[in-house]
Chains A and B, each alone.
Chain A
Amino acid sequence: MDVSLFVFVSLAMFGIGIIGVLINRNALIFFLSIELLLNAGNLLFVAFAREWENQTGLIWVFFVLIIAAAEAAVGIAIFINQFRTKQVVDVDQYDVLRG
């Protein structure tokens, strides 16, 4: 299969992710969109690893997955804490770090 197809799919995923992050105020959807962004990157890694028969890309995918998992754990913990104090899941309300 042509690698350009994968690139287009990846770009589409990335675009959907960005738009999801930008327009969704719900914390959980926001988080899902971030995962989408990461997986768009992963898809590119895998596609090019197969195209150039280079295993490095595959290794990177594992790194990204691990980081995504860790990030998800931390992020969910933050959101749960915020939810406990504010009783909302709206990311726009989470603005305690405003300068």
Chain B
Amino acid sequence: MLYALCLGLFMPLIGFVTLLSTARYVGRRQAGFIGCTTIFISLICFVSLLISYVYTGASPQTYTLFDWIHFNSINANFALHLDPLALLMTLIITGVGLLIHVYSVGYMDHDDDFARFFACMNFFIFSMLLLVLAAELLLLFVGWEGVGLASYLLIGFWYQKPEAAEAATKAFVINRIGDLGLLLGLLLTFYLFHTTDIVIVSNSVETGFTIGAPVITLLTMLYFVGATGKSAQIPLQTWLPDAMAGPTPVSALIHAATMVTAGVYLVVRMHAVFTMAPMTLQVIGIIGAITSLYASLSALGQTDLKRVLAYSTVSQLGLMFLACGAGAFYAAMFHLTTHAFIKAVLFLSAGNVVHMMHGTTEMSKMGGLSAIFTKTHWLFLIAALSLSGIPPLAAFFSKDLILENEYLVGYEFLYYIALAASILTGIYLTRAYCLTFTGPQHLDSDQHDVKEAPSIMITPVLILTFFSIFGGFIGFSIGRTPWLEDFIAEVDVTYIEKELTTDFIWSYEGILAIVGAIGGVLATALVYSKFRDQLGKPIEFLKKSFYFDEIYNWLFIIPLKSISSWMAQKIEPEIFDGSINILAQGTQGVARALQLVQSGQVRAYVAWMALGAVLLIVYLVY
């Protein structure tokens, strides 16, 4: 198992190194081949691990590869931890990642720098795998930072475009704020437990601390700050919509398989610690609820197809955190899984449209595209319906589970917020579908050659769509424990839900969710088919997503910029440069005075010596 694990983890790294070192020599086909093959091998490794794990009834195990840091009382090993939770994540990462890689071969076919693209994608997958497999938080942090770096490189892949470069910087900087939180959390973990081994920390936190101990609350809050950065929750959510400046497969990878799920994963991974801090859980739940409602409303106001999907991701991540806040970690993982497939389909099918329209993402220039994209629009529609929570598509089950748990835990208010966000999901996705694929066409004159995407860009999406339809059944079955729950039960994330439910129940609230979702979708479809012309522009407040960027601009960026320009123009030249100049001038003056002594006249030297000797004698005598 160790060999398969190492091969699966390091194969993308090998692909990354190979592609990077041979970037100038390999052609497009070879680069695509290397990029996809490494991920494919990695996927096979993890699938075989899954099979052997399930059939041999193995238990979670930590594999220490080597001694990493050995310093005083601090020990950190380069250790990998294999348990159902990590295995589930690796399968999502490599499975969805592989399909996105294959898709990218078609999507990036007009681009130079093919090898660089695949190198970065492979590095992205490697970092994420390292993140989920790490047995120690310190190693997890390495993967965490690697993911941040890879996202920076990929969002800014088209670095010639200023907005792409800016978006990459923004993503990096905002992630850095979250990373600081996680780093402080790491230091606090070292201080409290003398190790960052996740298993040891999880075990000793229950015996060493009382529930609600302030220090544990602080620790979990610091972790959560890290999670908000990576998973784009309020107040660090602004980078994700801007990250759309990158190539669409990158967006798909960030939103579906890697990066944004890291925050949710961290919370679920450290659930033993989080359950010790009820206050943090409440904060997580509230932040998740606010974020999901905020993002759903913002998505309604967007005119850019990819930005709608970006806000949709933020909203769904909010729902996952909401579930975490209620202690329903299993529901969060379930939704993470189904969301990964669906969001990949949404982004890739949107990518088909964007690619074939030569990079247009504005929905005002689309419309009526279902006549052209005869296959793509079905895929998009199915994924949209699935994410909206229409039974029996995948996200219905996961979303319903979150809502049920929320209600049963007793957070009624949060339940209604989640319900609103969930219904809004259906509305904004249907709106995006209608604006893009139905109604009159608004093609530019140079876009008459627009046609359906090639099969290399359809087939991966088709596979993902299959999972978006039937993926819900891994977490749903009548009369017995669902497969996913059974599988993941070993890591104990379900133990709170045991008191709740993981079954589907016919309650008033459940029916409300279903009716709401269907009603929302149908109403929106009706509005856009009948009254399309009477709809004005989207509300500016929603389009600007509550003016968050502007507020941050006023609060942080403008003050910081004015301080730094003041520093650059006043402090730096006058105080720092000035003091150094004065020092230099003083030294020069002294040197010039001393220069006079060095006359080169031998007799003068003798005279000085004699004078010195006389003075010395006078001094000694008296």
**Complex interface: chain A residues within 8 A of B601 (CB):** 91-92, 95, 98
B607 an interface residue at 8 Å Cβ cutoff?
Answer: yes
**Complex interface: chain B residues within 8 A of A98 (CB):** 598-601
* In-complex Cβ contact of B603 among A91, A96, A99 (8 A): A91
Contact between B598 and A22 (Cβ–Cβ < 8 Å)? no
B610 an interface residue at 8 Å Cβ cutoff?
Answer: yes
Contact between A94 and B602 (Cβ–Cβ < 8 Å)? yes
Cα of A92 to Cα of B600 in the assembled complex, Å: 8
| Known contacts A91-B602, A94-B602; A99/B607 CB under 8 A | no
Cα of A91 to Cα of B601 in the assembled complex, Å: 7
Contact between B599 and A21 (Cβ–Cβ < 8 Å)? no
A25 an interface residue at 8 Å Cβ cutoff?
Answer: yes
A18 an interface residue at 8 Å Cβ cutoff?
Answer: yes
Contact between A22 and B600 (Cβ–Cβ < 8 Å)? no
Tell me how far the C-beta of A48 lies from the nearest C-beta in chain B, rounded to whole angstroms: 18
Cα of A31 to Cα of B219 in the assembled complex, Å: 85
Cα of A97 to Cα of B599 in the assembled complex, Å: 8
Contact between B600 and A99 (Cβ–Cβ < 8 Å)? yes
**Complex interface: chain B residues within 8 A of A91 (CB):** 601-603
Contact between B597 and A22 (Cβ–Cβ < 8 Å)? no
Report B578-592 CB contacts with A as 1/0, cut-off 8 Å: 000000000000000
Tell me how far the C-beta of A24 lies from the nearest C-beta in chain B, rounded to whole angstroms: 8
B562 an interface residue at 8 Å Cβ cutoff?
Answer: no
Query: Which residues of A in the span 55-95 have a Cβ within 8 Å of any Cβ on B?
Result: 91-92, 94-95
Interface size grouping (class) on chain A:
10 to 19
Binding site for B on A (CB under 8 A): 18, 21-22, 25, 30, 91-92, 94-99
Closest 6 CB pairs of A and B: A99-B598, A98-B600, A95-B600, A99-B595, A97-B600, A21-B606
Contact between B610 and A22 (Cβ–Cβ < 8 Å)? yes
**Complex interface: chain A residues within 8 A of B598 (CB):** 97-99
8 inter-chain pairs at a CB distance below 8 angstroms, sorted by A residue, are A21-B603, A21-B606, A91-B602, A94-B600, A95-B600, A97-B600, A98-B601, A99-B595
Contact between A22 and B595 (Cβ–Cβ < 8 Å)? no
| Known contacts A99-B595, A99-B597; A22/B607 CB under 8 A | yes
Cα of A16 to Cα of B203 in the assembled complex, Å: 96
Contact between B599 and A22 (Cβ–Cβ < 8 Å)? no
Tell me how far the C-beta of B614 lies from the nearest C-beta in chain A, rounded to whole angstroms: 10
**Complex interface: chain A residues within 8 A of B607 (CB):** 22
* Residue among B597, B599, B602 with the highest chain A CB neighbour number at 10 A: B602
**Complex interface: chain B residues within 8 A of A22 (CB):** 603, 606-607, 610
Tell me how far the C-beta of B600 lies from the nearest C-beta in chain A, rounded to whole angstroms: 3
**Complex interface: chain B residues within 8 A of A96 (CB):** 600
Cα of A81 to Cα of B602 in the assembled complex, Å: 16
Report B489-518 CB contacts with A as 1/0, cut-off 8 Å: 000000000000000000000000000000
